[in-house]
Each structure stands twice: as structure tokens, then as C-alpha cells.
Amino acid sequence: MLARVTDNISMCDLDKGDLLREVTVKIELERINTQEEITVEALLDSGAMELVMSSEFVRKQRFKLKKLDRPMYIRNVDGLFNKEGPIEHTVEVNIYYQGHRERTEIDVIGRQKWMVILGMLWLAHHNPEID
């Protein structure tokens, strides 16, 4: 179980010359069907509500997909529907973080920069200490 919190800084210039800070944590994901573990750096995103995983990461790591009964349409921060389309699948995993194990389903979305995004519900539950 990894407890190191990293603070990655992206050199994206904003209008006011500030830097966009991307805060990540290392977590371990365990496939339910094979008990194989994968260490991944996940983005902490207080603007997202749920946990999401990149469809490309799911494909490369051969996670078992679970089809949703009906698609979930999601909106971006700007209020528009996500251009990658609705969420149609989830992946069931165990997440290990700071000695804690949690079995959960992660929504699978189309192309994205990060393999895994941990949203507000995860942040509120785990309340990681970030410097």
C-alpha cells in the first residue's frame, strides 16, 4: 500500500500567469477476477464527482467490463455533454491506498489524459493530506 502523495505541476500558462497544479496519488488497483495488482498514479479532481478510468487503460490492462443497464450521460465543467459520449461500462476493482482496501466500481470513459481520476466522493471519504 503506497502512502506517497505527489504534487505534479503542469507548466500550462493561465491568463494571469499562474500555474495549473495537478495533484496525484499512487494507488494500487486489484482486478477482482484475477487478483492481479497494478500500481497507477491517479489524478485527484475535486471537480469530478465519481471515480473514472480511461477506456484505453481498461483495454491495455484487460480489465473485465461490466455493461450498465442504461448509459449515463455526463456533463463537463462547461455544462456541455462529454464529447466521448455516455458512460456505458464500469470496472469492478479493489483500490488500495494508505493501508485501506476498498471494493468499488469505476466508470469507464473515453479518451482522457489520466488513466484514473479520483473524484470528490473518494476525496471526501479518504481525505488525503496534501502539502
45-56 mean pLDDT: 85
Under the banding of pLDDT at 50, 70 and 90, the label for residue 28 is: very high
Per-residue pLDDT at 111: 74
Q: What is the CATH number of the domain that holds 83?
A: 2.40.70.10
Q: Pairing mode, if any, of strands 87-97 and 65-72?
A: antiparallel
Under the banding of pLDDT at 50, 70 and 90, the label for residue 128 is: low
User: What's the pLDDT tens digit per position in 70-104?
Assistant: 998 887 767 777 777 889 999 999 999 888 889 99
Looking at the 3D structure of the chain, how many domains does it have?
Answer: 1
Asked whether residue 131 is assigned to any structural domain, the reply reads no
Domain span holding position 52 = 5-126
Asked whether residue 49 is assigned to any structural domain, the reply reads yes
Per the CB < 8 A criterion, the answer to whether 39 and 26 are in contact is: yes
Q: What percent of the chain has pLDDT over 70?
A: 79
| Mean pLDDT of all residues belonging to the chain | 79
What span, in angstroms and rounded, lies between the C-alpha atoms of 62 and 24?
A: 23
Closest CA to 124 of 22, 43, 44, 5: 44
Asked whether residue 17 is assigned to any structural domain, the reply reads yes
